[in-house]
Structure formats: C-alpha cells, structure tokens
Structure 1
Amino acid sequence: MDRPPTVEAEVAAELAALRPDLVARFAAALPGARAAVLTRLWRALAHEPLPWITRRDRGGEGLTLLLADGRRLHGPHPDPYATAGYVTDVRLDGVAYDDPARLTAELAVPNGSGFAAELGDSVASLALSRAGQEPSTHAEEWPVHDWEWEQRVVDGHPYHPTCRSRPGFSVAEQLAYGPEHRPVVRLGLVPVPAGECLVSGVWPQELRDGERLWIPVHPWQAAHVLKRSCERELPARPLMSLRTLALPGGRHVKTSLSARLTSSVRDISVGSVAASAALSAFGEILAARTDGLLHVTRTLGAATPDSPELAAVLRESPAVYAGPGERVVPVAALATTRLPESAAWTAEFARLALTVGLRLLESGVALEAHGQNLLVVLSASGAPLRLVYRDLADIRVGPSRLARHGITPPEGLPARILTDDETALRRKLFGSLVAGSLAATTGDGTALRTALDAVVRDLPRTPDLVTLCERPLPAKALTLMRLSPGTAGDRWAELPNPLVRQEN
C-alpha cells in the first residue's frame, strides 16, 4: 500500500541521523505497531457510543458498522479484552486500511484530523519503543531495582489507541526520556524562595538551600515550557509514566510535564499539591481496613510556587513494602514477567484484587486501580501476596458510604473526588480494575471469564458485586473523549460482561 509522507518517515529520517543502528529495526516494527494501535481503535469503534456510528451488525464473518453517511466499515469480531494486535486491517466500503491514522483521516468525523495525527504519532512512537528493545530472556529474571520493572512496559496503555502518542517529543527526546529506552535523566533543580512556595508535607533538607527550595523539573519541561537552564541537576530513572522518576536513594518524584501523553497534559495542579498530605493520610486509613492486604504509598512532600508548570511531588517507593525475597511489581509489568503458568495464579491474583477493591468500595472508596497505579507483592515463588496502591489523586470517595462505616476522612480532601453517585463509584473501580488491570493481565475475554468465574462466587454478595456480575462492564470511552475536546470529564462505554452469556 502506497503511503504519503507521515510521521513514520520523519522518525525514520531522524533515526538515520541519530541512531542508524535502529533504522532497520524501526521499519520492521512498523507493521506490528500499526496492528497494535488499529486493534485498540477497533475496540473503540466496536463498543464506544460514537454518534456517527448508527448500527453495529455482528455476523459469522465479523462486525460491520453502518456510519451516519451510509458507508460501511467491516472488521473481525472484536474482543474488548484482547491485548495482542490481532486486527491487521479493516475495510471501509471494501477498501482495506491497515493504518489507523489513514483510516481515521478517511472517516472524516468531527475533530478526527487531530486524532488521526495522534494515532500516527502513536504508531511511530510504539515502533520506536519496540525497536529499542534488545532481544533477551529477561522475563526469566527478576530485576533488582524497582524502576527496572517499570521500564519493561514497552507498549504503553493496553487499550488506548494513543497508547504511545508523545506529541512535542523529538526522536532524540523520546530516546533520552522514554522509560522503555532505559535512560538516566538529568532532572533540573529550580531554586524558588521558600516564602513563595506552597508546601504540603515535609520538603526534604537536601532540597533546601537556606531560604530557597529546590524543585525538580523534567528537562523537557525546562527546555520547552520554562525555557530555562538549571544550574543543578539530579540523576533519575524514568518510570512508566515518564514524568515520574526514581531518585537515588529510592524515593520517587512526580514532575510537571506540559505535554499531552496518551490523553492528558501532565501538569500538577496547585490543588493537587495542597491536597497531597490529606490524601496521604487518607491512604493510611484505607490500608488499615484491608487486614494487611493493601499498602498505600505515602506522599512525603509536595511543593509549587503556585504554578502547575513547576511543581513536584515526592513519594516513597512501593518497593518499601516488600519483605525478604519479595518483589513489588506494577500490574502493567506482569505480562513481561514469567510467572507460574496456570489459571490458578490468575485466579488468585483476581481474588486478591477484587477482595481489596470491593471491600474498599463497600466502605466508600473507589480506587482507580489500573496497571500503573496498582502493584502486586509477589513471593519468592511468584505467588501474589498483597497489593500496593500509589497516587490517590483520581480515586472517588462516597461520603455517605464512609459515614455508614464510621470512617471520618481527614480535612482537605479535594471536592472533585467526593461523590455519592453509585454509578460513578462503580465505574471508577470496575473500569480500572476489571476492564483494565485484570483484563490486561489475562489477555483476552475467555481468560478473564475463567479468572472471574473462579472467584466471584466466594466473595460477599454485596450490591456492588451483583452489579459487577450482572451488568455490562464500564470502561472509559477513550476515543470518544479524544474526539470531544470541548466536553469535560470522563465519558463511558459498556463492554460485554464475560460473566453474562451473550445472545447473538
């Protein structure tokens, strides 16, 4: 298929100048990257409430979408929980498209041109990420450092079509800052008068200089947003979120990054800094209600000179919750690691995750337990023992449920996370944990059903569990959200529940 000049060609040209050794590997990775992004896009087209899709016809040969303009789009039967790139092309009025960016441009839907550009960037960045991996058997070995687990996650978000979109990052910057490329990043330190800073928690002494605070800043942010150099630097290892890094000594730092990665611009709001200590204290309350099955990482300190473009949050590493011989692994990295190969392992992990998630939901807290926020403590033999949760910024808290369970939250929780809406609370947990973490860990709908079947019958039959077992599974409508730039907040899709028999 002939292709006009795209970001793929631009990346190849930059690579030829920077890393000629990667040019052939990048080209070889492109077909798989297109299929991976197209699979994610096809999931969205098959299940999200996109207003320009008027009907979905499922037949023996696949799925056909009738578009509002009369055209037909045909592809394979979608598995909303599959993580492999199984969609290699779809047909729009009989014409095959293997490139998600070209397909989206041809669909010509409202706000589609910008989204098409993001998809092209996602494909090229994903191919670059895959090209940078050395063939190895590292899945057989357990890393020594916590950041090594994070850097094993190469493909980004398992279900978002813009899983690797990094607009505004040159090839050189992706190689220098992308965790999957395993760099050491030189964080800048910006001096700010202490009297001009909002500080929550305790800002460490080594980041103080008399009446000044040193605030870590990502080098991309310093160059492109703050447009300044930094007289002091700090070496760090990027984690899977790219703007969060592991510091010498083990702490993690989240930095502001005014770039759109996946869906969101990754600044740190002043409100988030102000609420960080209260949320950290609330995390200790939550952990205490799980009989030792959950740890919540503590926020040590946060600071900003009243600007979302210059702020930092210091946290303890999840690794502090590992005992002798144990490892703390981000759920997103489980697929890269050799674990006991049996349905029993997956079921035990599902049992642990659902026990904790549903217990907290009943108490009034819905975790956003996706594969980046949720980590699992593994025994020396690989058995799932406990969970660790980090970053409470996007949980949802139901005040009425808390009150029924005699829980008094600390003052200072952000108003935006408080809601008594049962649907909002369930969506937050089920969409992130079941349709997200558990689905991505199992890898497809059949394996997800097997894992859930083995577990749900033994859990307390609360109204939340009944909803989980009998209703469609919620998932963020990630493509609809990218195509609705003027609409604030999350939008949702309903996915077929693997626990419910589907009628043809």
Structure 2
Amino acid sequence: MHRPSPVEAEIADELAVVRPALVSRYAAALPGARAAVLSRLWRGLAHDPLPWVVRREPDRDGLTLRLADGRRLRGPRPDPYATAAYVTAVRLDEVAYGDPARLMGELAVPHSVAFAAELAHSVASLALSRAGAQEEGEEGTGAWDRDWEGEQRVVDGHPFHPNCRSRPGFSVADQLAYGPEHRAVVELGLIPVPPGDCLVTGVWPEWLRDGERLVIPVHPWQAAHVLEREPAGRLAARPLMALRTLALPDGPHVKTALSARLTSSVRDISLGSVAASAVLSEFGEAVAARTGGLLHVTRTLGAAAAGSADLAAVVRESPREYAAAGERVVPVAALPATGLSRSPAWVARFARLALTVGLRMLELGVALEAHGQNLLVVLSADGEPVRLVYRDLADLRISPARLAHHGVPVPEVPARMVTDDERALRRKVFGSLVAGALAGTTGSGPALRAALESAVRDLPRTPDLAALCGGPLPAKALTLMRLSPRTAGDEWAELPNPLQDEAP
C-alpha cells in the first residue's frame, strides 16, 4: 500500500475540516493523480535536454536513461503527446517509484528538492480537483452558453506539465473557493484609487469608477495575502482556466493580479504590459482581420495599475462576442470534454483550421502563443469548427521583417516581444499550437499524426510549413525549466515529429 506523502496527508487533514464529504473521494483519487503527474514527469525526463542524462536507450519494451552518476532510470516507451496516465511506475536502478515527488527527491539532482515539493502539491491538488468534480457531477456538455461552463470542465489542468495542478500558496479552502474546476463563485474585491496614482490605457469602464476615483478589481487571495487591505465593495465573478482571470455575469472578463505560483511561475500584470495593452489590442485586431474572418482577437477594453504589479487589472471583452446565434465558443483545452475530439474526421478539420490560422498569422509576422487556454474555437450549431478566437496577447512574438513585407508597421510594444529570429518565431507557434493545443486535443502521437497528415495536404506550401513537417517538433522543456529556476526565459525540447516515421 502506498504511504501518503506529507503533502497528501496535510490536504486530507484540511479537507476533513473544510469539506469532510470529499475525504473519501480525495483518497480514492490519489493513485490516479500520482500516475497522471508521473506520466507528465516521465515525458520531461525522456525528452528534455537535462544535463545529468548522458544517454537515452530505447528498446522494444521501453526506455532507459543513463544518468551522469552511473544510475539507470527505466520506464515505458514514452509518447510525448499522450494525455492519458499511462505511467504507473519507473525504476531507478532496482527500485520502482510510483510517486513522482519521491522519484524526484531520490534523483537528487540540482534543484530537485524544490521541484519534488511542487510535484507533491500537483498530485494532491489534482486529486482534490478530481474529487470535487465527482462531487459536482458531470452535467454533460450542454450548450455551454455561459463563458465559464466549458472552462470548468478542464479538471486536470495543463495536459503536459508535471505541475499541472500545483498551487503551493493555496490552502484547501482557497482551492475550493477559487478553483474553476470546483465551480466556484469568487467575490472580487473593489479597491478605489485616485486617478493620479494610476497608469491607465484604453478606456476604463464607467462601472469601475467611483466619482473621480478608479475602482480596481482585486482577487480576494491577493487582497488578503499581498495587499492586506479590505476592499470597499465586492463583485461576483466566475474563474476561468487561468484562475486569476474571471468572467462577469453576461459581461466582460477581468484579469486580476494574483501573486501566487501557478503551474510554473508567479504571474503578474506588469506596468509594461498595462502600458502596451491598448496598442497591442489594436494591433492584434488589425492583423487578425487579414485571416479572412477565421480569427478574432478579444479586445482589451481598459487596463490599469495603481503604482505596482500587485494592484492591477485588465478588462477585456468576452470571446462570446464573436459567436453568432446558435454558435458556442469552447476553449481548445476543453474540447476533449465535448466528445468531439473522439472523431478523427472532426479533429482533422479542426487541425486544418488551426494550422491555417496559425501559419497565416506567422506569415504576416505574428507568432501566437496558441495553447489550449489562449485559443478558443467557435462551433456551429452542429458542432463544426468555423473560426477561432484568441485571447491574452501578452506572450506574442512580432517580426518586424515579416510585418514590413506585408506593409504593417511595428507597434510600440515591449522589446522582448520583437524578434526576426525564424527559429524563435516558429518555436512559439509550433510549440504552443501543435505540441500544445493540437496534441492535447488528440491525446496521443498516432492520433496527432493522423490529424496533421490530413490537415497539411490542403495548406499552402510555405517555408514555415516545410519547417513544421521537416524536423523535430519544438515544445517547452517544462521539467528542465522547473529544474533551472535561475535561467531566464523559456527552455526547449525537441520532440519526435508525428509526421516522420520515427514518431511514436
């Protein structure tokens, strides 16, 4: 019998106090959560360029990693695009490990202690999420008419990140109160600030003003743990997948500052992103208009920061603004919950739409971070993918040379967003759209290969398409990045290309 980790036991003890009805479901969900996180970790160990893995030896039955200290780590033959929990144990020399946190601790590589703690949180929080979903019950996909309904079905978080549900700054009560998978209603705090203390771009909504003062919506966790101040009012909202972004009833979305580590890093709303938000929104909308109606970008209505990133918010329109009567808008990460991705023909049509848009935007000079959270698909009444919606422009990459070729001026945006490096531009698109959104939708290497083979037949033969089909597929090296906390920026892995014979 597996002995619960200290984190698993701690969450069980908290749960017994705040939601005792979930304790048995939580305990039952732990083995599956360990396998799910271990499968994601094994993907990283098998493919990320880890400096202490000196050789990888595949065979018919699995994969052996030769470590720099002479030890051997062996597990199943990895499928880098699998979303199912297919790894229940890996062997470090002669000892089998089914707990990803214990395995990482035993590896004893640089920064493994901190990463092991994150993995333990990921397992426990994932089990809690699954237990909560079982308690709520599945009501079917329905029409998903309201913004948050599809987002609440993404119970497992990031499909490939070992820290898919790591929320180390959150108590059990916090997770139940703020997590979208727990169907939470969150009371945003409203903090009035003098206009002279604020950086504002766009048009700050009238309903977020109090006379001359601007009213900044604040996440309740942020108000309690960072700002340590009592809001002047409250506003009910529903959390989306990003957790710090929430949908107002029949209204826009509000991105709040939330200084807690979620998945990989502590996210904030920097003063630079507030300053650039209006220009970036107009630019994204203008370039998307060149896709012939296949892509829309949600507009930023207003952004404000009161002196620092700790008290800031962005208000943007709902993706539903781009759905006609009878259509629905679904985040790509939620597509598996609709059942549509079980049809290879449907997935091929969706892949063709997504690649058409992603490659067209890249040709124009805009590399989208089109992962399953940022990218949404508009479905017709009979479930056909008809167009895409993209939200949150903060991680775009923009190519001045490509824009100039199409007569588009370069907007005034942060320097980190501007590059003509072809490899960096393609990594951004292929790593998020293909190795992220499409892989997460298909759920396996063979299924991704089938979808891509069908989709690329009808695409224009461009250098970008040739690069997509002709070499390894880039993906963020998520495990390496958690084991390299002092390294700034993204690290990358090269995955077997599903369109080539050696892919799984």
Return the TM-score normalized by structure 1.
0.98
Residue 257 of structure 1 pairs with residue 258 of structure 2: yes
Kindly state the Cα deviation for residue 206 of structure 1 after the two structures are TM-superposed.
1.4
Any conservation in 2 of the 1:236–1:246 contact (CA below 8 Å)? Answer: yes
Deviation string 1:329-355 (CA, Å, 9 cap, x unpaired) is 000000111227421100000000000
Kindly state the Cα deviation for residue 248 of structure 1 after the two structures are TM-superposed.
2.8
Match of 1:490 in 2: 490
Rounded to whole Å, the distance in 2 between the matches of 1:485 and 1:32 is 28
Amino acid at match of 1:470: G
Match of 2:201 in 1: 200
Match of 1:83 in 2: 83
Kindly state the Cα deviation for residue 2 of structure 1 after the two structures are TM-superposed.
5.0
Match of 1:316 in 2: 317
Match of 2:460 in 1: 460
Deviation string 1:94-148 (CA, Å, 9 cap, x unpaired) is 2110000000000000000000000000000000000001374533422221111
Rounded to whole Å, the distance in 1 between the matches of 2:110 and 2:345 is 46
Match of 2:94 in 1: 94
Alignment of 1:100-249 (within 5 A): 100-134=100-134, 136-249=137-250
Rounded to whole Å, the distance in 2 between the matches of 1:338 and 1:62 is 31
Rounded to whole Å, the distance in 2 between the matches of 1:446 and 1:279 is 38
Amino acid at match of 2:337: T
Match of 1:435 in 2: 435
Any conservation in 2 of the 1:139–1:338 contact (CA below 8 Å)? Answer: no
Rounded to whole Å, the distance in 2 between the matches of 1:398 and 1:323 is 33
Alignment of 1:284-303 (within 5 A): 284-303=285-304
Task: Determine helix, strand or coil for the equivalent of 1:123.
Answer: helix
Rounded to whole Å, the distance in 1 between the matches of 2:316 and 2:4 is 46
Task: Determine helix, strand or coil for the equivalent of 2:115.
Answer: helix
Deviation string 1:284-310 (CA, Å, 9 cap, x unpaired) is 112211000000000000001120111
Any conservation in 1 of the 2:476–2:492 contact (CA below 8 Å)? Answer: yes
Deviates more, 1:426-435 or 1:334-343: 334-343
Kindly state the Cα deviation for residue 455 of structure 1 after the two structures are TM-superposed.
1.5
Match of 2:19 in 1: 19
Any conservation in 1 of the 2:246–2:254 contact (CA below 8 Å)? Answer: yes
Amino acid at match of 1:42: W
- Shift of the 318–4 alpha-carbon distance from structure 1 to 2, 3 Å rule, reads closer
Rounded to whole Å, the distance in 2 between the matches of 1:112 and 1:164 is 18
Any conservation in 1 of the 2:40–2:161 contact (CA below 8 Å)? Answer: yes
Q: How many residues align?
A: 503
Task: Determine helix, strand or coil for the equivalent of 1:258.
Answer: coil
Rounded to whole Å, the distance in 1 between the matches of 2:372 and 2:141 is 21
Amino acid at match of 1:127: A
Rounded to whole Å, the distance in 1 between the matches of 2:320 and 2:239 is 16
Deviation string 1:23-65 (CA, Å, 9 cap, x unpaired) is 0000000000000000000000000000010010001120000
Amino acid at match of 1:154: V
Kindly state the Cα deviation for residue 209 of structure 1 after the two structures are TM-superposed.
1.3
Rounded to whole Å, the distance in 1 between the matches of 2:470 and 2:341 is 30
- Shift of the 155–221 alpha-carbon distance from structure 1 to 2, 3 Å rule, reads same
Deviates more, 1:360-369 or 1:1-10: 1-10
Kindly state the Cα deviation for residue 5 of structure 1 after the two structures are TM-superposed.
4.6
Rounded to whole Å, the distance in 2 between the matches of 1:14 and 1:305 is 35
Rounded to whole Å, the distance in 2 between the matches of 1:304 and 1:339 is 41
- Shift of the 163–239 alpha-carbon distance from structure 1 to 2, 3 Å rule, reads same
Structure 1 segments of 4+ aligned residues over 4 angstroms from their partners: none
Amino acid at match of 1:203: W
Task: Determine helix, strand or coil for the equivalent of 1:199.
Answer: strand
Kindly state the Cα deviation for residue 457 of structure 1 after the two structures are TM-superposed.
2.1
Match of 2:399 in 1: 398
Deviation string 1:347-394 (CA, Å, 9 cap, x unpaired) is 000000000100111111110000000000001110000000001110
Task: Determine helix, strand or coil for the equivalent of 1:187.
Answer: strand
Rounded to whole Å, the distance in 1 between the matches of 2:5 and 2:53 is 29
Amino acid at match of 2:502: Q
Amino acid at match of 1:263: S
Rounded to whole Å, the distance in 2 between the matches of 1:140 and 1:230 is 36
Rounded to whole Å, the distance in 1 between the matches of 2:192 and 2:22 is 39
- Shift of the 258–137 alpha-carbon distance from structure 1 to 2, 3 Å rule, reads closer
Task: Determine helix, strand or coil for the equivalent of 1:301.
Answer: strand
Alignment of 1:265-414 (within 5 A): 265-339=266-340, 341-410=342-411, 412-414=412-414
Rounded to whole Å, the distance in 1 between the matches of 2:139 and 2:66 is 45
Rounded to whole Å, the distance in 1 between the matches of 2:46 and 2:20 is 39
Kindly state the Cα deviation for residue 227 of structure 1 after the two structures are TM-superposed.
1.0
Match of 2:54 in 1: 54
**Contiguous gaps of at least 5 residues in structure 1:** none
Task: Determine helix, strand or coil for the equivalent of 2:354.
Answer: helix
* Alignment RMSD (CA, Å): 1.3
Kindly state the Cα deviation for residue 417 of structure 1 after the two structures are TM-superposed.
0.4
Any conservation in 1 of the 2:200–2:304 contact (CA below 8 Å)? Answer: yes
Deviation string 1:384-412 (CA, Å, 9 cap, x unpaired) is 000000011101000001101111244x2
Task: Determine helix, strand or coil for the equivalent of 2:433.
Answer: helix
Task: Determine helix, strand or coil for the equivalent of 1:215.
Answer: strand
Rounded to whole Å, the distance in 2 between the matches of 1:440 and 1:499 is 17
Rounded to whole Å, the distance in 2 between the matches of 1:429 and 1:408 is 21
Any conservation in 2 of the 1:190–1:217 contact (CA below 8 Å)? Answer: yes
Task: Determine helix, strand or coil for the equivalent of 2:189.
Answer: strand
Rounded to whole Å, the distance in 1 between the matches of 2:163 and 2:389 is 27
Any conservation in 1 of the 2:14–2:172 contact (CA below 8 Å)? Answer: yes
Rounded to whole Å, the distance in 1 between the matches of 2:106 and 2:143 is 45
Amino acid at match of 1:460: P
Any conservation in 2 of the 1:340–1:382 contact (CA below 8 Å)? Answer: no
Identity rate, percent: 73
Amino acid at match of 1:101: A
Task: Determine helix, strand or coil for the equivalent of 2:168.
Answer: coil
